[in-house]
Each structure stands twice: as structure tokens, then as C-alpha cells.
């Protein structure tokens, strides 16, 4: 018992659980609820039918009314719970006339299929019936909008943009960082200071002129127009340079004496040693590119080029908020990130924690 408690609480010296421990776990529990809750709620809501989504107050699980197939009727009939003569019965509704619902008992077969006689019909006030419901996922929310919300296309574009941009970012930034950290040459400090000065100037500040450059280069409405402008990120150069400074120059000199070319020194000595910093930049780059919204929104206007974010935004604007579809597509959009995070969470959080300090 003692060991289990110590394991759970892992307090130094196994002292008593006090109020602060209680508050700590209370905070962490509430935090988990607040951080995950909204996403979970959206995920659950995305499986509800349109009718259930406008229900207020909302219920937790997705329900759907039970229906039953009865010979003689094309559509399955909705089931209701009705009290007839003090006895609760499950009845199928055939028709509704004003405030009167005409029901039949599905247990008793009709004399003429599809045409119940006056004796067989049970007439009930619509306020006296209760829907028979069961938990059911409205999967059509996911199937129907795929014609309009071209998930596969958007996903493909997002994946292309993210991968290509990250690869380019890693290569050109590590090359520049290598030059800035391992060589002495004329103009080095000037270049570095320029990069530093633009460290925090985001693309949102120079929207108009970058758009102009893109248009001039005929990159408007292409994925390259999304990929290239952010590739030479000053943050990346800065991060990698700071890391490469910690790699001893002796290694480079020794390789030179052994006759290695500069390019070989770069890719066979510097790159492997800078792996932790490269990994962090890769994480950042993937996060920036996958979630990027404003710049793709400006560059891309043809829907077959939309990234997931732009596509989702266009979809929600177009539909005048048909929530049952929008929610399902939101879940599809957040799914890839969530899955990657589930597998790599330790790597991502510890990576950012170590290098975030220097950035």
C-alpha cells in the first residue's frame, strides 16, 4: 500500500500527502479537462445527426431514433414509447395528422401490409409519445461532404507543402549556418546582423510586397508560392548557427587535413552532429507549415490547390455553418496532427524544451 502510494505521488522522502499535493492534482485534472475537453466534445459532436446538434441543452453521446422495418412500408418507421391504458408499449409511427400520431404495434402483423385498419391503428397525442433512442454514430457526416470538401486533395497539398518546405528549410538553412559558424570571411558579421534584425519580422508584416514578388515570378496560385517565401527563415539559421558553434573547429580542420572536400565536411561531419538542432527545426517547420493560414489564403485561390487549413475555412464559410459537416471535417483536419503527436509527443516536447531556451 505504502509503495503504491509512493509510486503515485513520488514525493521526496515519502512524506505525507498535504494540501498542496491535492491542489496540484486538482489543477492538473482540471487542466486536462480544459485542454482535451473541447477537442473531445467536437469529436463526439461530429457523430451527431443534424437534428440532434440543435438540441438544447446538448447531450453527451450521439443518439439516433430507433426505426423498424415493417412489411408494406418503403421507409423504416420511427419507434416511440407510448403509454396506452396504463401500459408502456413500443409503437411504430405510421403517420402524423396535426397533433395526433397514428401508431401501430410492430409485434402484431397487419392484416393488409401497408394499410392498417381502424382497429389496428392506435391514436396518440404527439406530446404523449417518447422517442426510443440508442447510441448511434452519424457516419454520414463524414461521407456526404467529401464531394465538396476534397479532403484527399487538401491533405495531399498540405503534405506536399509541409514536406517540401521542411526539407528545403533544413538544407538551405543548415548550409548557411555552416558557413556562418565555421568560416571567417568578409561580410560575415553584416549578414548575421541582417538575419538577426529580421528574426521577428513575420510574413504578415510584409504581405503586400511579398505578394507582389510572388505575382512577378508567376508563383501566384502555385504551391511553390506557398513553400518558397518562408523557406529561408531567420529563426532556423539562428538556431542552427548557435548549435553549430558548439561543434569543435578541430573536427573540421582534421577532416580538411585528411583531404575531405568542404561539401563532404558539411554533410558527413556537421549535419550528423547537428542532428538535435535539425530535429527541433524540423518540428518547428512542420508545425508552422501545417498550420499556416494567412499566406496560403492569399496565394491560393483555386480550390484544387487549397491546403487543409484554407480548405476548411472555405468550407465553413460556404456552408453557412452546417455544423454537422463542418465538425466532421474539423475532426478530419486535426486527426493527422493528433496521431503524429500521440507517437512523437515525448520527442517533440523535450526537443522544444531544450532548444526553445536559446531561440
Partner 1 sequence: MSRIDAARRVGVSPRFSRKTIGDLFGDVFSLLFGFIMNTIDLVITPIQRRIGIRRMAYLFLVPNMLIFSIFVLFPMLLNFYYSGTAGTKLFPEDRTWVGTENYQTLFDCEDFTDPNSCNEDFFWRAVSNTVVFVIFQVGGLVLLALLTALILNREIAGRGFFRSVFFYPVLLSPVVVGLIWKWILQRHGLLNGLLETFDPERDATLFLLERNWAAFWVILVSIWAQMGFYTLILLAGLQSIPAVLYEAGQIDGANNWQSFRHITLPLLMPTMFVVLVLSLIRAVQVFDQVFVLTGGGPGTATKYMVQYIYETGFINQIPRRGLAASASVLLGGVLLVFTLFQLWLGRKSEVT
The residue (of 20 and 85) whose beta carbon lies closer to partner 1 is 20
Among 164, 247, 279, 319, the residue binding partner 1 under the rule CB under 8 A is 279
Contact 63, 79 (CB under 8 A): no
267 binds partner 1 (CB under 8 A): yes
The residue (of 73 and 211) whose beta carbon lies closer to partner 1 is 211
Please say which residue, 37 or 76, places its beta carbon nearer to partner 1: 37
- Per-residue mark of binding to partner 1, 11-40 (x: CB under 8 A): xx-------x---xx-xx--xx-xxx-xx-
Query: Site residues for partner 1, window 99-158 (CB under 8 A)?
Result: none
- Which range touches partner 1 (CB under 8 A), out of 82-90, 94-102, 142-150, 285-293? 285-293
Cα 57-63-64 angle, rounded to 5 deg: 120
- Strand 67-68 and strand 122-125: the pairing is unpaired
Closest to partner 1 by CB, 25 vs 111, is: 25
Note if the bond before 57 is cis, omega within 30 degrees.
Answer: yes
Contact set for partner 1, span 179-238 (CB under 8 A): 179-180, 183-185, 188, 191, 194-202, 204-213, 215-216, 228-232, 234, 237
Are 133 and 43 spatial neighbours (Cβ–Cβ below 8 Å)? no
Distance CA 131, CA 77 (A): 12
Does 8 sit near partner 1 (CB under 8 A)?
A: yes
Our finding on whether 343 is near partner 1 (CB under 8 A) is no
b/e 67-94 (16+ beta carbons within 10 angstroms → b): eeebeeeeeebbbbebeeeeeeeebbbb
Provide the minimum distance between the beta carbon of 347 and partner 1 in the complex, in angstroms, as a whole number: 5
Distance, in Å, from the CA atom of 158 to the CA atom of 305, rounded to the nearest integer, reads 9
* Part in contact with partner 1 (CB under 8 A); list of ranges 74-82, 95-103, 112-120, 177-185: 177-185
Burial class (CB in 10 A: 0-12, 13-18, 19+), 14: exposed
Candidate list 50, 83, 218, 261; residue touching partner 1; CB under 8 A: 261
Amino acid at each position: 500500500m505504502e509503495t503504491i502510494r509512493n509510486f503515485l505521488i513520488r514525493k521526496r522522502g515519502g512524506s505525507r500527502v498535504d494540501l498542496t499535493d491535492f491542489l496540484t492534482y486538482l489543477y492538473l485534472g482540471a487542466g486536462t479537462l480544459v485542454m482535451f475537453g473541447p477537442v473531445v466534445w467536437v469529436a463526439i459532436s461530429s457523430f451527431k445527426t443534424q437534428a440532434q446538434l440543435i438540441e438544447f441543452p446538448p447531450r453527451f453521446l450521439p443518439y439516433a431514433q430507433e426505426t423498424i422495418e415493417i412489411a408494406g412500408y418503403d421507409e423504416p418507421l420511427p419507434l416511440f414509447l407510448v403509454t396506452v391504458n396504463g401500459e408502456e408499449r413500443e409503437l411504430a409511427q405510421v403517420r402524423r395528422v396535426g397533433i395526433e400520431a397514428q401508431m401501430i404495434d410492430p409485434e402484431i402483423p397487419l392484416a393488409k401490409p401497408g394499410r392498417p385498419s381502424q382497429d389496428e391503428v392506435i391514436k396518440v397525442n404527439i406530446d404523449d409519445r417518447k422517442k426510443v433512442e440508442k447510441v448511434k454514430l452519424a457516419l454520414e457526416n463524414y461521407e456526404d461532404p467529401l464531394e465538396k470538401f476534397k479532403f484527399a486533395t487538401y491533405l495531399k497539398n498540405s503534405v506536399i507543402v509541409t514536406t517540401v518546405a521542411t526539407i528545403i528549410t533544413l538544407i538551405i538553412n543548415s548550409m548557411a549556418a555552416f558557413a556562418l559558424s565555421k568560416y571567417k570571411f568578409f561580410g560575415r558579421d553584416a549578414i548575421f546582423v541582417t538575419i538577426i534584425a529580421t528574426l521577428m519580422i513575420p510574413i504578415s508584416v510584409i504581405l503586400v510586397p511579398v505578394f507582389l514578388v510572388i505575382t512577378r515570378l508567376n508563383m501566384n496560385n502555385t504551391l511553390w508560392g506557398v513553400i518558397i517565401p518562408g523557406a529561408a527563415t531567420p529563426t532556423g539559421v539562428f538556431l542552427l548557427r548557435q548549435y553549430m558553434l558548439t561543434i569543435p573547429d578541430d573536427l573540421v580542420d582534421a577532416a580538411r587535413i585528411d583531404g575531405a572536400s568542404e561539401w563532404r565536411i558539411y554533410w558527413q561531419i556537421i549535419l550528423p552532429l547537428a542532428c538535435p538542432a535539425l530535429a527541433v527545426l524540423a518540428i518547428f517547420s512542420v508545425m508552422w507549415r501545417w498550420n499556416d493560414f494567412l499566406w496560403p489564403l492569399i496565394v491560393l485561390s483555386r480550390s484544387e490547390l487549397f491546403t487543409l487549413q484554407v480548405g476548411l475555412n472555405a468550407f465553413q464559410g460556404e456552408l453557412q455553418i452546417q455544423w454537422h459537416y463542418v465538425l466532421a471535417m474539423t475532426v478530419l483536419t486535426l486527426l493527422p496532427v493528433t496521431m503524429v503527436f500521440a507517437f512523437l509527443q515525448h520527442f517533440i516536447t523535450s526537443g522544444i524544451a531544450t532548444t526553445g531556451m536559446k531561440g
